[in-house]
Amino acid sequence: MKQLLESIERKYEVIRLDNNFGPHYLLRVKKVYDSLPKFFCLSDPDLKLSKDLPIDFINELKIVSESHKIGKVGLALEVLKNRRCFT
């Protein structure tokens, strides 16, 4: 995730938080949410992005959002076979 963010910083504004507030922090704190641009992307560093994603996948998500007039779009998660889950 860090490598991806570093690679897209030239084209997009990347905001890093000092603490891990969880994925919904930006949406729950009105002052923070109101400071966001019209289009923004939330990421989760626990996820490994597919190597098959196009380099401009963020722009592709924006196009989908605008063309379908929906406010939330995302990527499908790849389910890996033969992985053990421990609880």
- How many Cα atoms sit within 13 Å of 27 on the Cβ side? 9
Domain assignment present for 50: yes
Token pair of 3 as six digits:
């490598």
Tokens of 30: 């009105």
CA torsion, points 61, 64, 69, 71, in degrees to nearest 10? -20
- On whether residue 20 sits in a domain, the answer given is yes
Please indicate, yes or no, if residue 29 is contained in any of the structural domains.
yes
Residue among 41, 37, 4 at smallest CA distance from 23: 41
59 assigned to some structural domain: yes
Contact assessment for residue 53 and residue 75, using Cβ atoms and an 8 Å cutoff: yes
Q: Report how many domains make up the chain.
A: 1
**The model scores a pTM over 0.85:** no
- Convert the pLDDT of each residue in 27-77 to its tens digit: 888 988 898 888 887 776 677 778 888 888 889 999 999 999 988 888 876
Range of the domain at 31: 2-68
Residue 87 lies in a domain: no
